[in-house]
Structure 1
Amino acid sequence: MDWSQLTGALIGLVGVPLGVILGELLRRRQRAEQFAAAIFGKRLEAYDSLINILFESHRIANEVIDNTKLSAAERHELISAAIMPIAEHTTRNVLYIDEELGAHCTALFMGVEDLRDLPESERQARLAQFQRDWREARRMILEDSGVIKVNRLFRDINRPTISSPVIERIRELRREQDNEI
């Protein structure tokens, strides 16, 4: 047996298992890609519902913060009613909503009912922290849901010129907020 025959046999011996392994890896990747679209759709639905629940809860929290006529018990009842749908939704959609983000969203409104009872300086500091946490929750939802990447992709494809005095002012305020954090 000469070297050329031995080399051919070795290539065959290595090539067949390597081909099988590569085929299996490609098959698994294709299968994962098939599931990814379905999972992305369900995640987007779960996050869309979550953001809607959060906006309603934020409306309730603002009512609790601004309405001086509410008693402590009424404030507590309203905030509890705002928190419960968030907790239920994040628990029900644990397959699609990040667990830590769900916990952040659930805890977001906790303690808002007590703001009225705090001294003014502490009240303002806690209110500012609540507003920062609210903005951060929205940012994390947009990021974890994949919406930010999809929007960037659309902007890269379309290259729209989105600008106006109002938009420029919004961008300026965002930069200021980012510098504060």
Structure 2
Amino acid sequence: MIFAGIGAAPATAAEFIDFETTAGGAATLDGGAIGNDFSAFGATFTNAFYRQCGGGCPAPANGIFASSNNFANPFTITFAGITNAFSFSNVSNSSGTASAFGIGGNLLESIAISGFPSSFSFTSTGINSISFSSSAQLGVDNFAFGDVQGMSAVPEPAAWAMMLIGFGFVGGTMRAANRRKKFAVTYA
């Protein structure tokens, strides 16, 4: 079991969430909680729900998007590790704030959200979570993020190989030093 994670590669692929289907490909419905539906992408949602605009809405609000049911509490996306890129679209006439946080909850960057439709991007590195807050029902969609790096380090095969070679080198050096002591020639 020790060697099970040796071949694991770090997750670096870019992800895109449009809320029309879950990470597993299931269709989404208006009013359902998002929760862990996108955990396969390394993202978990808190206090977020699927919403659908009524007929006649312009793109990009003409499909399913994410929003909060309780305006007093922000909704949050938390990553399984950290990401160095995140962008999204405002698909509501509401304004609000999006804030990016690092590991430990330190504020990295805040963006004032306004205008419909409009797109926004965070430029900070080391983003672990994004919080969306508004005094009205803020709707956001088209989340794009990449470079998700896991927080629990699994050494890559090259690191394991270098470590084993290093142990072998240290062991060989110690053994050779012991042999020299035993067979040392001394003159009286």
Q: What TM-score do the two structures reach when normalised by structure 1?
A: 0.22
Q: Which structure ranks higher in relative contact order (CA pairs < 8 Å, sequence separation ≥ 6)?
A: 2
Using structure 2 for the length normalisation, give the TM-score.
Answer: 0.21
Higher helix content, 1 or 2: 1
